[in-house]
Amino acid sequence: MQPGRADSRSDELIPRILAGERAALARAITLIESRRADHRAEAARLLQALLPQTGKAVRVGVTGVPGVGKSTTIDTLGANLCDEGHKVAVLAVDPSSSRSGGSILGDKTRMARLSAHPNAFIRPSPSAGALGGVAARTRETMLVCEAAGFDTILVETVGVGQSETSVADMTDFFLVLMLPGAGDELQGVKKGVLELADMIAVNKSDGANRVRAEAAAAEYQAALHILQPASRNWSPPVVLVSGLANEGLGAMWEKVLEHRRRMVASGEFAARRRDQQVKWMWSMLEERLLARLKSDARVRDRLPQLERAVADGALAPTLAVDEIAKLLGA
């Protein structure tokens, strides 16, 4: 794409995205994920034009440790919603290949039913080193999907690191999937995740696992009662589901909608969306400043010397940071 053609290319994509064309949607997301300066400028114009058509979708973050069944649950839940007439977009943030930088898990192959549904759109995105394993452009991708008419956005995290916090900051509802009969060490259960959860779903709760799942649910509910709820209008429930057997997902989704109704009625929904927009702005500003830091020739030339001096104990990190800041004119 030539820099001089940016405006015409954006103008071409906008009506096609609003018409729900998948090819245009995919091209727009590729543009958003590009690191080229001219592409970033074009993507910004595109998002500004689409902004009035966004904000109406139900945004749900889904997390859980690897093996808990996130993709299977999303596949079944998403297909159920599509069968009911909804349009579902799944933004699945994959770990990045250390060689190519591309996605390595292949979510489309793990969501066979949903990927074949005409009302669904699945976009595996490499985390590409973004903080917490969340793709740097997931927020922007979410807006483009909403402009294309998708009324339900499911964001699946890698399930490790700080991705939970990042996803919670860009969605309306944060769902944490847990396993029945697994120890705290295995599941990585920690206070931070429980504080973020709007609901805990104990997955794989069908068949012989039912008794263990009920015991696990009681433990999680007790843990939630100890914590101060994030909202005075919502106490996070614990539900039993089976993504593979398609059990309990309807009741689980009703809880998501009930949460939305309560948040809208209390005014918390609008307040949270506004807060997320501001956090998004600061996140992008930090990214821009970091990019400037890495691209500044004076800093690039001096940085190896400063790193060696800090590593050898010859220079205090504080003084090194001060020198870098001066080089940037800060």
Question: pLDDT for 41-94, tens place per residue?
Answer: 888 899 999 999 999 999 999 988 888 899 999 999 999 999 999 999 999 876
pLDDT value at residue 153: 97
Specify the pLDDT at position 134.
57
Residues contacting residue 14 through CB under 8 Å, at least 6 positions apart: 46, 49, 50
Which DSSP string corresponds to 31-75?
HHH---HHHHHHHHHHHHHHGGG-S-SEEEEEE--TTS-HHHHHH
Structural domains of the chain in order of their starting residue, each with its CATH number: 1-52 (1.20.5.170), 54-266 (3.40.50.300), 281-327 (no CATH)
R_g of the chain computed on alpha carbons: 22
Among residues of the chain, what percentage have pLDDT more than 90?
53
Residue range 288-302: average pLDDT? 85
The per-residue pLDDT for range 200-231, each reduced to its tens digit, is 999 999 999 999 999 989 988 888 888 888 88
Q: What is the pLDDT of residue 191?
A: 61
Q: In what order do the strands lie in the sheet with 173-178?
A: 120-126, 88-94, 152-156, 58-63, 173-178, 199-202, 238-240
**Phi, psi (5° rounding) for residue 197?**
-65, 130
Mean pLDDT computed over 13-25: 94
pLDDT tens-digit map of 143-189: 999 999 999 999 998 765 566 788 888 999 999 999 887 655 344 45
